[in-house]
């Protein structure tokens, strides 16, 4: 068979259901082979979106998502999505066509060294040397991408390799079993028993390990309050008496009061990129315990007193046995935090962010999915949106690129077609990937896109004015989301009050239709974020 057909069979063997991307001359053979496969090729409107979608599929399923571009400009456009997966620890295999090996020289039209370009933002980056090597190297790529800490792997597929004949066959996929060997937890138990005010910070690793149930059992057994990183939201339900909601900002708030009072910080499935220690271990005086599936990164000023590495579910379950139950010391902080998060500003012209978030929460069930793009609305959502279950609020806290909202909503709907999905997108980020709404319509992926309109990059404008007393390059014209929706054949609405937003959003979700709702966002609230 041809190398391209073998490549597709290997993707099938790895459980790939969708390949996101854009075809080009150098991947024509692979595209033709995909026609005869059960794998669905999802044509996106931009290569960055393809990588965003693949990365989110990886986050939600735990198995690497897959995307495909052509050489040069196509692969270059994919870089931002690969980098996002790299810093968010999302498993993904990114593939690109390339000119034949004999043509890989400078100068040559559209040729650049893709392997070198992707090496700094992937777990591995390599070129497929021959068709015979496809089964082994594809297996290694998918295996490496899924291993803790997960991330992207880049495979360059030269067109001569895809055309090459081979007798090689795919390797059968075998799910890697988690190691359930329980380590000696004595040191951790001693540290816990001595602490009067222990506090858990749960990160995205808890969700990756499928350890949400074990974590909840652990904090309930010991009666320990828990805060979650933005990407770990849902590890402990918002309505739990032990939840301190999410952390991720430097600005002091009620959650930071808990850090100040705590005498032991227990990091569970936590990565330093999610919330830098200098923001929660001020003075470097706290006792710190780390429980993770991979060794903890050590940076200047940060070294855990105890580090336990292994299967998170097993470690947490073992730690829950015969606990020394702690007094409930953070109940007042929890109460004040809850009051601050649920407080609403007075009505004014436009819809305030707090009202938008309340409306989204009221319209979605506990297991439905809220997606946030990047901008001021990201901070509002990450701080104030109540999350009850894992992977039901999807945000970026790694690379944090604008434009992820719509591609991620498509990926979420592909993985969970029966769940309702609402994407919050700022008007700045909307402009970057809004054409993927046509992709969603073409795929029959109904979700609602809320466009927060304030005609500016508001957080940048605020920072400029605070620093210099004036702003530059932060304001732009408003896009008519209703007319844009009409242009791609989906429903479009405008909401200038919370009542209008609530009624429209409920109707759209009930109808299970693809819709865009432009929201006139009330001013001056973003000043509170910085």
Kindly report, residue by residue over 354-394, the tens digit of the pLDDT: 999 999 999 999 999 999 999 999 999 998 899 999 999 99
The CB density around residue 250, as the number of other CB atoms within 10 Å, is: 11
Highest mean pLDDT pick, 151-160, 266-275, 316-325, 518-527: 151-160
Residue 48 has pLDDT above 80, yes or no: yes
Residue 527 has pLDDT above 70, yes or no: yes
For residue 157, what are the β-bridge partners?
97
Highest mean pLDDT pick, 86-95, 326-335, 425-434: 86-95
- pLDDT, position 107: 63
The residue among 17 and 476 whose pLDDT is bigger is: 17
- pLDDT, position 180: 47
CATH number for the domain whose boundaries are 344-529: 3.40.50.970
CATH code 3.40.50.1220 region(s) in the chain: 186-328
- pLDDT, position 181: 46
Residue 510 burial (C-beta neighbours within 10 Å; 0-12, 13-18, 19+):
exposed
Look over the chain and give the mean of its residue pLDDT values, rounded to a whole number: 90
CA dist list (Å): 377 to 108, 427, 461 = 44, 10, 15
Residue 350 burial (C-beta neighbours within 10 Å; 0-12, 13-18, 19+):
buried
- pLDDT, position 106: 61
Average pLDDT over residues 308-313: 89
CATH code 3.40.50.970 region(s) in the chain: 3-163, 344-529
The residue among 352 and 184 whose pLDDT is bigger is: 352
Weakest mean pLDDT among 11-20, 139-148, 280-289, 500-509: 280-289
| CATH class belonging to 186-328 | alpha beta
Instruction: Name the percent of the chain lying above pLDDT 90.
Output: 66
Weakest mean pLDDT among 51-55, 212-216, 279-283, 512-516: 279-283
Average pLDDT over residues 132-160: 96
* Topology, domain 3-163: Rossmann fold (3.40.50)
Cα(236)–Cα(232) distance, integer angstroms: 9
């Amino acid at each position: 068979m041809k190398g391209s057909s073998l490549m597709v069979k290997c993707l099938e063997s790895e459980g790939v259901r969708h390949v996101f991307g854009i075809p080009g001359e150098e991947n024509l053979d692979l595209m033709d082979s995909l026609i005869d496969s059960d794998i669905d090729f999802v044509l996106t409107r931009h290569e960055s979106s393809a990588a965003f979608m693949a990365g989110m599929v990886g986050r939600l399923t735990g198995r690497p998502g897959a995307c495909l571009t052509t050489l040069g400009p196509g692969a270059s456009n994919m870089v931002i999505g690969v980098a996002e997966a790299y810093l968010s620890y999302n498993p993904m295999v990114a593939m690109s066509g390339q000119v034949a090996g004999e043509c890989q020289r400078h100068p040559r039209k559209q040729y650049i060294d893709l392997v070198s370009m992707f090496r700094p933002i992937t777990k591995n980056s390599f070129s497929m040397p021959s068709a015979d090597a496809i089964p082994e190297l594809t297996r290694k790529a998918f295996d490496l991408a899924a291993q803790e800490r997960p991330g992207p792997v880049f495979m360059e597929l030269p067109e001569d390799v895809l055309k090459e004949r081979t007798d090689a066959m795919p390797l059968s996929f075998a799910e890697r079993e988690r190691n359930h060997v329980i380590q000696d937890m004595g040191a951790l138990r001693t540290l816990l028993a001595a602490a009067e005010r222990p506090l858990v910070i749960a990160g995205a690793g808890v969700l990756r390990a499928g350890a949400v149930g074990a974590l909840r059992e652990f904090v309930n057994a010991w009666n320990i309050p828990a805060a979650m990183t933005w990407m770990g939201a849902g590890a402990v339900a918002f309505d739990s008496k032990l939840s301190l909601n999410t952390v991720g900002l430097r600005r002091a708030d009620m959650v930071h009061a808990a850090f100040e009072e705590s005498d032991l910080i227990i990091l569970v499935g936590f990565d330093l990129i999610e919330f830098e220690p200098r923001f929660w271990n001020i003075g470097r005086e706290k006792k710190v315990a780390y429980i993770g599936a991979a060794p903890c990164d050590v940076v200047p000023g940060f070294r855990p007193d105890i580090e336990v590495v292994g299967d998170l579910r097993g470690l947490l379950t073992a730690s829950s046995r015969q606990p020394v139950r702690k007094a409930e010391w953070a109940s007042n902080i929890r109460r004040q935090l809850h009051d601050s998060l649920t407080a609403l500003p007075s009505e004014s012209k436009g819809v305030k962010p707090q009202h938008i978030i309340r409306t989204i929460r009221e319209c979605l069930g506990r297991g439905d999915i809220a997606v946030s793009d990047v901008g001021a609305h990201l901070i509002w959502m990450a701080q104030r949106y109540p999350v009850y279950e894992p992977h039901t609020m999807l945000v970026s806290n790694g690379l944090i690129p604008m434009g992820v909202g719509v591609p991620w909503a498509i990926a979420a709907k592909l993985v969970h077609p029966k769940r309702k999905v609402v994407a919050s997108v700022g008007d700045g980020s909307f402009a970057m990937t809004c054409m993927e709404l046509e992709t969603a319509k073409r795929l029959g992926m109904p979700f609602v896109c809320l466009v927060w309109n304030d005609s500016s990059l508001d957080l940048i404008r605020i920072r400029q004015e605070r620093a210099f007393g004036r702003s530059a390059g932060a304001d732009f014209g408003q896009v008519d989301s209703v007319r844009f929706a009409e242009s791609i054949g989906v429903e479009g609405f405008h909401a200038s009050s919370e009542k209008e937003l609530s009624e429209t959003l409920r109707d759209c979700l009930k109808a299970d239709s693809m819709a865009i709702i432009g929201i006139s966002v009330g001013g001056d609230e973003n000043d509170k974020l910085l």
